[in-house]
Each structure stands twice: as structure tokens, then as C-alpha cells.
Amino acid sequence: MDVAKYIGLFLLKNGQCYVHGLGTMQLVRKPASYDGQALQPSSYEILMAPGGNVDEALSNFIANNEQISISKASNALKEFSTQTRTTIQQGGEVALNHLGTFIQQDGRIGFATNPHMLYKPTPIPAHKGSSLQHQERPQFADQGARTSTGFVLPKAPPPGHSAPAMAAPPPMEERYQDEEEEKGGISWLRILLFVFILGLMAVGVYFGYKYYLVPKLNKPAPRQMELPTESNMPIPEVDDFDEPAVHSEDTSTTQTGMEQQEMNTPAPTQTTPATEPVPAQPVETTATGPAPKTVKLKVVINTYDSRARAEKRKRQLNAYGTSVQVLEEDTNYFFIIMPVQTTTTDTARILDSLSRTYNPEGVFKY
């Protein structure tokens, strides 16, 4: 393996090459100079600097070109460096092809550039006092005088020579028309293109208005469902609030609890004169439609976060004669449920009555 060849190739390619154990080789360009007699062109010189940045760039370059491993290339480079130092210490020299040789300078390793690498073009002679301006060309007899700007003046006709008569210039209108014809006149292609673009814009506006804006404007507004409020809800009679139509599984106990609540509530006193007979109202027998459907509901009266509180509320309601159940809906979440049988039309009124009686904060269906 010729390690010296790869060192030279890597140096010429990158301008700098670090060789382990020898130093850093640098390719330096010397600028052009003037020695008083001739202009010397620029040249190149290889300098050797001790030390440098330790890297494996040269080893990778050798391994890629020789198709070997990087470790094998590093070992070959170390052997070359060891042999070069030994040869230089013995007073010898190690050459790099076409570049120069490794030598010993002032007790350290240096590099002497090959003179053939310092090849340069032939120096340009420079004489003092010589002008670099070109001399004027000689004038020919058949040419007119040439001015400093290079324009040739026409040669004067010989004496006695009569110039031919010149034709009269054309009118200004014809000349203007000729100039318009030369320029091409009006560009009909641009006019047609402009009209075509306007037509496309008009078609786009028409279809956008017809198929987008018109259907959007004619679209009916969505109907808003009217929610029941206190103003439009049916107002129950006073007797219905006092005795809610609640049918539970244990009818006797429920009625007993309601009777106890009615006993605690003072009944309003009504005075009716004994002398005036109460007129009998006729009974309307007009059929209003089919009877409402009876449904069974489970109404949640109270909610608690512990079973102990729910059981306490259940015992309290059972003591009043109300049949309720405790249902565990979720972890630490319990419902007090009352079974109710009512009609579909009286569901809202029953819930309102139960809310007034058992839980002013509100009850709901399970």
C-alpha cells in the first residue's frame, strides 16, 4: 500500500492533511509579486506545522480507496510515520510523489516543496515609461476622419460635384401610420383575453347567487320547541296538592301517612249561609276521548352520599306511612325511590306535588 500517494492526494484535495506522528501539512498559496523588473505570478508551497487536530479523516480516505477497514488503514499510516521519523533521524529523506520530501529542519520534521510544483507562467515584462494604450490605426485614403468616439465622418465630395436631388419627405400622418403598423397596432389578443376573464367572473357570480345565496335565504328557520313554563303549565286544584294521587304497593300505609299529614295541617273554614240552597250543577256527559293511559313510575325523592343517611331517611318516611326503597346507584351515591302509579297526562302534576310534599329542591323520574 502506497501511503505517501494517498497523503499527497488528500493534501491536494483538502488543502490540509494531518499525519499522526509527523504533524500537519498545509498547502499555502503565495500571492503574485513584483520584483522591480517583472511581475511574478502566484504559486503554491507546502508547509509543515508540528501537532494539529487529531482525526481519522486520512484513515477514512485510505480505507475508502483501498476497500479495507479503518483500523487497518490506521495501522499502515502509523507504520509509515514511524519509518519516516526513523529515516529522517538517520539523516535521510522521505519523498512524496511530485510534491516534495520530508526533511529535518532545526531539529524537527520539515518539508521541502518540489521545484516542479512551483511551475508558473512566463513573467510579464514591465518597462518603465512604456504606455499600455494602443496606438491609433492609420487612416485610409478612401475613409473619412475618425473621431475620438469611433464615429467616422463622411468624406466631403470633390469640388464641382453636384449632389443628386433628394425626394420630398412623406407627410407626417402617413409616417405616424407606418410607425403604428410597425409596432403591431392594437393587441386584439389581450382584449379577447380580458373579455373572456370578465365572462368567467360573471358566470361565477351568477351560479354563486343562484345555487348558494338563494337557497340559503329561502331556507325556513328551524322551529323552536316551546318548553313548559309556570305560565303555560296547568294549575292544579287546591285539593290535588293536599291529597296527591299516589298509588304505591302498600296502599293502606300510604293513606295512613297522608291522613296524618292532613291532621297536622289546619283545614280552611268555609261559611255557607244556611238559608241559601246550593244550586245543583248539571253533569256534563260529553265524551272527551279515550281514557288516559296508566303508567308506573319510580320517582327519586332524595339523593345521599352515604347509605346510613339514606336508611335514616327511609325509616323516617316509613314511620309516616310512605313506602320507599333505597337504591345504590353508584359508589357512595344512593337514591330514595317511591313507586307511583298515575296517568300520562298527570305525570308533571304528580312530580310537582311530590316535590312540594317531600323535597322542595325537586324530584325526578328514575
On whether residue 274 sits in a domain, the answer given is no
142 occurs within a structural domain: no
Among 118, 133, 149, which residue terminates a domain?
118
Q: Which residues pair with 111 in a beta bridge?
A: 102
Tell me, yes or no, whether 320 lies in a domain. Answer: yes
Domain limit, last residue, from 92, 118, 144: 118
Q: Tell me the percentage of the chain whose pLDDT exceeds 90.
A: 12
Of the listed ranges 4-8, 112-116, 121-125, 321-325, the least confidently predicted one is: 121-125
CATH code at 104?
Answer: 4.10.520
Question: Any idea which residue has 508540528 for its cell?
Answer: 50
**Is residue 71 in a domain?**
yes
User: 221 lies in a domain?
Assistant: no
What does DSSP say about strands 43-49 and 38-40: parallel, antiparallel, or unpaired?
Answer: unpaired
Please give the pLDDT value at position 12. 86
| Residues whose CB is less than 8 angstroms from the CB of residue 361 and which lie 6 or more positions away in sequence, other chains included | 355
Q: What is the chain's mean pLDDT, rounded?
A: 73
* Least confident segment among 157-171, 217-231, 266-280, 335-349: 266-280
How high is the pLDDT of residue 104?
Answer: 87
* Mean predicted confidence (pLDDT) in 51-68: 87
| Residues of the chain above pLDDT 70, percent | 61
Q: What is the band of 35 on the pLDDT scale with cuts at 50, 70, 90?
A: confident
Q: Is the pLDDT of residue 133 over 50?
A: yes
C-beta of residue 257 within 8 angstroms of C-beta of residue 321:
yes
Q: State the Cα–Cα distance between residues 155 and 138, nearest whole angstrom.
A: 16
Nearest alpha carbon to residue 301 among 353, 242, 239: 353
Contact 17, 25 (CB under 8 A): yes
Q: pLDDT band at residue 64, thresholds of 50, 70 and 90?
A: very high
CATH number at residue 318: 3.30.70.1070
3-class SS string, the chain:
CCHHHHHHHHHHHHCEEEECCCEEEEEEEECCEECCCEEECCEEEEEEECCCCCCCHHHHHHHHHHCCCHHHHHHHHHHHHHHHHHHHHCCCCEEECCCEEEEEECCEEEEEECHHHHCCCCCEECCCCCCCCCCCCCCCCCCCCECCCCCECCCCCCCCCCCCCCCCCCCHHHHHHHHHHHHCCCCHHHHHHHHHHHHHHHHHHHHHHHHHHHHHHHCCCCCCCCCCCCCCCCCCCHHHHHCCCCCCCCHHHHHHHHHHHHHHCCCCCCCCCCCCCCCCCCCCCCCCCCCCCEEEEEEEEEEECCHHHHHHHHHHHHHCCCCCEEEEEECCEEEEEEEEEEECCCHHHHHHHHHHHHCCCCCEEC
Q: What's the pLDDT band for 218 if we cut at 50, 70, 90?
A: confident
What local confidence, expressed as pLDDT, does residue 99 receive?
86
* pLDDT recorded at residue 241: 37
| Owning domain of residue 297 | 240-257+293-365
Say what the pTM is.
0.33
Does a structural domain hold residue 84? yes
Question: Quick check: 43 pLDDT over 70?
Answer: yes
pLDDT one-digit tens code per residue, 162-217: 555 555 555 555 555 555 555 555 788 999 999 999 999 999 999 988 888 877 77
Which range among 39-43, 86-90, 196-200, 355-359 has the greatest average pLDDT? 196-200
Report if residue 304 sits inside a domain: yes
Q: Given a cut of 90, is residue 254 above it in pLDDT?
A: no
Of 118, 139, 164, the one marking the end of a domain is 118
Contact 23, 49 (CB under 8 A): yes
Q: Is residue 93, in this structure, part of any structural domain at all? A: yes
- 91: left (phi > 0), else alpha (psi -120 to 50), else beta? left
246/156: higher pLDDT: 156
Per-residue pLDDT reduced to its tens digit, 316-338: 889 988 888 898 888 888 998 89
Q: pLDDT tens digits for 269-304?
A: 444 444 444 444 544 444 455 667 788 888 898 999
Number of domains present in the structure of the chain: 2
> What's the pLDDT band for 91 if we cut at 50, 70, 90?
confident
Least confident of 117-121, 150-154, 164-168, 256-260: 256-260
